[in-house]
Amino acid sequence: MTNDLGAIDLNSGLALFNRAEFFEAHEALEDLWREAQFGSPVRRHLQGLVQLAVAFHHESCQNFVGARSVLDRALRNLKGAEESFAFLDLDHLRAVLSR
């Protein structure tokens, strides 16, 4: 993210995700997605993070069909996200999720 507030918000959303608070992570990340420039790669990559949180939320509610559907879209939207989020280990994430 280009400004400090965005970075703080992103860190908050990621912290919620890492604590398995997936619904709350989705809400926090979605706020950033709404603020991102329409059509930008960052916006698409944020959408992937939002969808990833939604997929994990569905999985935690045992909605495995919904989780798989959203996960597939999340992974598509996270292609190339290293450009937007170089600090995230997206290769490791993809490897874990492919299992």
Instruction: Please determine, for residue 5, whether its predicted confidence score (pLDDT) is greater than 60.
Output: no
- Single-letter amino acid code for the residue at 70: V
Torsion from C-alpha of 73, 64, 50, 85, nearest 10 degrees: -70
Query: What pTM value is reported for the model?
Result: 0.90
Residue 69 pLDDT grade (very low, low, confident, very high; cuts 50, 70, 90): very high
**Alpha helix segments (H runs only) across 1-99:** 4-18, 22-35, 41-60, 64-77, 90-98
pLDDT at 9: 87
Instruction: Please determine, for residue 92, whether its predicted confidence score (pLDDT) is greater than 70.
Output: yes
d(CA 97, CA 45): 17
Instruction: Please determine, for residue 50, whether its predicted confidence score (pLDDT) is greater than 80.
Output: yes
Cβ-based neighbours of 37, under 8 Å, separated by 6 or more:
43
Average pLDDT of the segment spanning 71-94: 94
pLDDT at 88: 93
Q: Count CB neighbours of 31 within 10 A.
A: 14
pLDDT at 3: 44
